[in-house]
Structure 1
Amino acid sequence: MATNPIPQFPPGFLWGVSTSAHQIEGAADKRTPSVWDAFTAEPGRVRDGSTAAVACDHYHRHREDVALLAGLGVDAYRFSVSWPRVDSPGGLDFYDRLVDDLCAAGVRPVPTLFHWDLPARLDWLDRDTAARFAAYVSVVADRLGDRVSRWITLNEPAEHTLLGHALGVHAPGRRLLFDALPAAHHQLLAHGLAVRALRAAGAADIGIANSHGPTWPASDEAADREAAEFYDVLLNRLFADPLLLGRYPDGVGELMPGTAERVASDLEVIAEPVDWYGVNYYAPARVGAPQEAATDAGGVHLPSGLPFSLRPVEGRPLTDSGWPVVPEGLTELLTGLSDHYGDRLPPVIVTENGCSYEGLDDQHRIAYLDGHIRALHRAMEAGVDVRGYFVWSLLDNFEWAEGYTRRFGLVHVDFADPARLTRTPKASYGWFRDVLRAQRA
């Protein structure tokens, strides 16, 4: 573990931690069903057979968690609002209480309006879901907008499309491959409509949390370079170009639903200006030419027959999730986004960065965060306008299809005792607290 002090960041730099509703809230009886409830009810969908019906029980224990945030000393808390909970009578009352308690503790609330828990009655393959999302956003903004100044529309539409609609390993469990692209388009359209709804409600600080990572060709061979370029389009540019440039990458736009005229009209909505651009970073991808057999790297399983294959990133330590630890990939990613989009790239906030490791004395997590914060600082020294950094995550949680087998939290949660769900700060919690104190010294 590095012992040198973390470099000083500019005054006003935003430090925070992130969570999501379905992963921590529990209280499933106080909301309508989501696509994840249906998904986890199917045997074999989740590694340990678990569900998020209770999770961390944040719904009932949020004051304890707000105290942890205050003790950590973060500026901001990124959480998500559960659309299925808002669909329920009194559902927004919980977020009223949470936002009030955050403000009283001096922690800025930063809500994400969609983090994968779509109401079970809806479908991202249906265009109308985008309009329904905008209506829901208006309701939330009307209720919380007097205390919330910064908003995030969507979290990781790339993963929700790839894992949930193309490969079927996340909810809603579809295996549509390239026929999943309408889900991507409708999420992006929902983002643009949500920006308009938030502006109409008086919001002036709006962003999105897109996942990104460098794509490395497996070799210098032309076939590997072409495969890596195609993968980069699907996982990076497909979700950034429409937002920042107002167009889809070459060869993709015609695959979107509707006529060319309708897609062009939608792109005007999708490209509504945002005030900042959120980046979730975990690891780069090493990509090669197609292979006859299925490939698996970093926990992503790809079937054969695709125009690319995933290869291991060799020579790097792995997290418990099997993801390579590559801090300099964050520098490469941020400088690459700045180079590619130029003045079309707004100020950046790293909205997620973290790792899964077992144990309370989590020195590997400390080393991971230390390396990535330094890599972020190097990107800023290179001229990238970065305004904030959020660790994923405050709490160990329900980690989607991995259930409770992966621990990303700065705080340990004892899931073996569901009646108590005792929270215990890990060594990384104390380390990050001390980093923040040093930044303000």
Structure 2
Amino acid sequence: MTGRTWKGVVIGVFALLVLGGIALSLALPGRGEPRQTPAPVQAMNFPKGFLWGVAIAGQQTESVPASDWTAFEAEVLRDHRFAAGDKLGATSPGNLRDFGRWPEQVRTHKAGFDLRYDQDIEAAAGLGLNAFRVSIEWARLFPRAGMTQPDPEAIAYYHQIFAAMKSRGIEPVVTLFHYVSPAWFFEADAKGKRGWERADAMTLWHAYVEAVAQNFIPEVHIWCTLNEPMVYLYDGYVLGSYPPGEKRGDFAAAQDVYAALLQAHVDAYRVLHRVASSRGTSVSVGLTQNLEVFEPYDRYSPLDRALAWVVDKSWNWDFLDAVASGRMRITTTGIDRPIEGLAGTEDYVGVNYYSRNYVRGDWRHPFAPDVGNVAPDLPDEERNDLGWPSYPHGFYAMLTKVGKRYAKPVMILENGTADGAVDDKERQRYLVAHIREAWLARRDGVDIRSYVHWSLMDNFEWNEAFDAKFGLFAVDYEHDFRRTPRPSAALYGEIVHANGLSATMLKQYSADPGAAADVLGR
């Protein structure tokens, strides 16, 4: 199909969506869905063996040698790119919020996990947790180009971490790619291609995954190949806020990177299962997607409704659909590429969920929607420190969609909120409300196996640097990374020890102040 013909198809499809949006707009009285899924107040207990955990990632919590992110941070520091805007969540692409004001030790060690991982794992065990999600860093294992074997000190480091978890009854959940690659991976090849577009990208990735599998199976049984691939694609290749900092305009222009990530997932899935089988054990392998609710900015606007559908399909489902079907189809682009061996290569579907967004169109530029976190009819919606709305019902909606769409076990691998207040009341409400929604999704047939909270401690939150606080434990960065538990840590420990939520807890921490005593969310 020619580019001109496909452009006509896209316009036709978009026109149909707008017509459908008009019909829906006429039928809708307004934004009526509850913030929480309505249900009686009752004890909500999870099954025996349910995984309760916390999550961290290497680049965000420990010193990672020679990574692309470390190189990016050095460039930001050199060029004084600290533009942060007037509030959290407004940092300009290519900048790190106020990064230069932090001491070198903080910039180097982030949250200091590599300095005190045993104490952090002990803190997690003290909450009663039986799962801990971490990342193995490719740049730590292979810090230099041309290495044929991983760095032995790096291998020993991860063995020590997993042993510390296992000795406390904690199951490691391990991510292979959490946005970060070795810096040398982005050196240009003979054709000028860098990173995932290099001719030898899959060979290099395969060597890394093979080393991981050979060294850490059967120590680790639960594997996550890719963390939030759409976030990586958007921030790295469309918006330009993450390394490699490119601004290609859309996902179609980054389709070769998109395809490479799918191929990387296939390769990792095969390698991990092959090594596990050869050792008489089993592994569970999946990837995790950042699912967000996208709603029309103006529910009466046909354009907003159509664009919200397009953004939802493109962001939330295209990548997961590709893994299920074996074909990479990017919404409204005409791109339809088979990926060899991809179909069905996940043993679970990983879900990360935080918030919802509102999609606003402009008839003058209909293919360039604005996506924000404030709707005109919800000006006082509860938001966290980053301005993200708290929308528990969206968690239920996403979990049930995943369950129906893929018919696979579901692992919640990230859920949390930025709340830097000493009493962190917002995080406490958020925690209870979202665990409640996960229980309701399980009740309604979704095979949810875990709830993993982001994060154990405050850490380096990418472009927002150290100012966005997601931790159950506050970190005093300038005083030896001292940890102080927030009230939410004790609350989470209470939930974990009870293996669920009590009716008293549901009433006390209702996310909807003033809700009826016996039905939440009305």
Q: Give TM-score, length-normalised by structure 1.
A: 0.88
User: Residues of 2 paired with 1:66 and 1:380: CA distance?
Assistant: 28
User: Residues of 2 paired with 1:230 and 1:141: CA distance?
Assistant: 38
- Does 2:69 correspond to 1:36? yes
Aligned residues of 1:81 and 1:111 also touching (Cα < 8 A): yes
User: Residues of 2 paired with 1:334 and 1:434: CA distance?
Assistant: 24
- Does 2:253 correspond to 1:191? no
Match of 1:10 among 47, 59, 68: 47
User: Residues of 2 paired with 1:199 and 1:85: CA distance?
Assistant: 23
- What secondary structure is seen at the aligned counterpart in 2 of 1:376? helix
Change (3 A) 1:23 1:416: same
Paired AA for residue 72 in structure 2: F
| Aligned ranges 1:87-126 → 2 under 5 Å | 87-88=142-143, 89=151, 90-122=153-185, 123-126=195-198
Q: Hey, what does 2:189 align to over in structure 1?
A: none
- Does 2:482 correspond to 1:422? yes
User: Residues of 2 paired with 1:102 and 1:291: CA distance?
Assistant: 54
Q: Hey, what does 1:175 align to over in structure 2?
A: 247
CA-to-aligned-CA distance 1:167-195 (integer Å, 9 cap, x gap): 01122211112222322221121111110
User: Residues of 1 paired with 2:161 and 2:419: CA distance?
Assistant: 28
Structure 1: tracts of 5 or more residues without a match: 293-303
- What secondary structure is seen at the aligned counterpart in 2 of 1:91? helix
Match of 1:308 among 365, 369, 374: 369
Structure 1 residue 269, shift from structure 2 partner = 2.6
Q: Hey, what does 2:324 align to over in structure 1?
A: 244
Match of 1:64 among 101, 119, 123: 119
Match of 1:76 among 126, 131, 154: 131
User: Residues of 2 paired with 1:156 and 1:47: CA distance?
Assistant: 22
Aligned residues of 1:348 and 1:385 also touching (Cα < 8 A): yes
Change (3 A) 1:132 1:270: farther
Match of 1:398 among 460, 466, 478: 460
Change (3 A) 1:435 1:177: same
Structure 1 residue 5, shift from structure 2 partner = 7.4
Paired AA for residue 172 in structure 1: P
User: Residues of 1 paired with 2:247 and 2:369: CA distance?
Assistant: 17
Aligned residues of 2:396 and 2:437 also touching (Cα < 8 A): yes
User: Residues of 1 paired with 2:142 and 2:111: CA distance?
Assistant: 21
- What secondary structure is seen at the aligned counterpart in 2 of 1:330? helix
Aligned residues of 2:318 and 2:330 also touching (Cα < 8 A): no
CA-to-aligned-CA distance 1:255-308 (integer Å, 9 cap, x gap): 4xxxx7xx32x2x3332431111000011222132377xxxxxxxxxxx78432
Change (3 A) 1:291 1:404: farther
Aligned residues of 1:362 and 1:426 also touching (Cα < 8 A): yes
Structure 1 residue 204, shift from structure 2 partner = 2.5
Paired AA for residue 148 in structure 1: V
Change (3 A) 1:352 1:248: same
Q: Which portions of structure 1, spanning 4 or more consecutive aligned residues, are displaced by more than 6 angstroms?
A: none
- What secondary structure is seen at the aligned counterpart in 1 of 2:52? strand
- What secondary structure is seen at the aligned counterpart in 1 of 2:388? coil
Structure 1 residue 53, shift from structure 2 partner = 1.6
| Aligned ranges 1:43-62 → 2 under 5 Å | 43-44=80-81, 45-50=95-100, 52-62=107-117
Q: Hey, what does 2:27 align to over in structure 1?
A: none
Paired AA for residue 46 in structure 1: L
Match of 2:312 among 211, 232, 249: 232
- Does 2:392 correspond to 1:324? no
Change (3 A) 1:220 1:135: farther
- What secondary structure is seen at the aligned counterpart in 1 of 2:453? strand
- What secondary structure is seen at the aligned counterpart in 2 of 1:188? helix
- What secondary structure is seen at the aligned counterpart in 1 of 2:350? strand
Greater mean alpha carbon deviation, residues 57-66 or residues 213-222: 213-222
User: Residues of 1 paired with 2:438 and 2:415: CA distance?
Assistant: 11
CA-to-aligned-CA distance 1:354-411 (integer Å, 9 cap, x gap): 0011133211101011110111111112211111110000010001010001010001
User: Residues of 2 paired with 1:379 and 1:437: CA distance?
Assistant: 21
Paired AA for residue 349 in structure 1: M
Q: Give TM-score, length-normalised by structure 2.
A: 0.75
Q: Hey, what does 1:155 align to over in structure 2?
A: 227
Decide which structure has the larger Cα Rg and report it: 2
Q: Hey, what does 1:349 align to over in structure 2?
A: 411
Change (3 A) 1:143 1:252: farther
- Does 2:480 correspond to 1:413? no
- Does 2:282 correspond to 1:208? no
- Equivalenced residues, count: 411
- What secondary structure is seen at the aligned counterpart in 2 of 1:17? strand
- What secondary structure is seen at the aligned counterpart in 2 of 1:281? strand
- What secondary structure is seen at the aligned counterpart in 1 of 2:328? coil
Paired AA for residue 421 in structure 2: G
Structure 1 residue 254, shift from structure 2 partner = 4.6
Change (3 A) 1:105 1:5: farther
User: Residues of 2 paired with 1:385 and 1:290: CA distance?
Assistant: 40
Change (3 A) 1:73 1:127: farther
Aligned residues of 2:236 and 2:246 also touching (Cα < 8 A): yes
Aligned residues of 2:403 and 2:409 also touching (Cα < 8 A): no
Q: Hey, what does 1:25 align to over in structure 2?
A: 62
Structure 1 residue 56, shift from structure 2 partner = 1.4
Change (3 A) 1:290 1:192: farther
User: Residues of 1 paired with 2:331 and 2:56: CA distance?
Assistant: 35
Q: Hey, what does 1:136 align to over in structure 2?
A: 208
Identity among equivalent pairs (%): 32
Match of 2:448 among 358, 382, 386: 386
Aligned residues of 2:288 and 2:352 also touching (Cα < 8 A): yes
Aligned CA-pair RMSD = 2.2
Aligned residues of 2:325 and 2:342 also touching (Cα < 8 A): no
- Does 2:366 correspond to 1:333? no
Aligned residues of 2:314 and 2:331 also touching (Cα < 8 A): no
Paired AA for residue 242 in structure 1: A
Greater mean alpha carbon deviation, residues 175-184 or residues 91-100: 175-184
Paired AA for residue 37 in structure 1: T
User: Residues of 2 paired with 1:180 and 1:35: CA distance?
Assistant: 18
Structure 1 residue 253, shift from structure 2 partner = 7.2
Structure 1 residue 138, shift from structure 2 partner = 1.2
CA-to-aligned-CA distance 1:23-56 (integer Å, 9 cap, x gap): 0012x4xx3x111112222231101125742111
User: Residues of 2 paired with 1:196 and 1:22: CA distance?
Assistant: 26
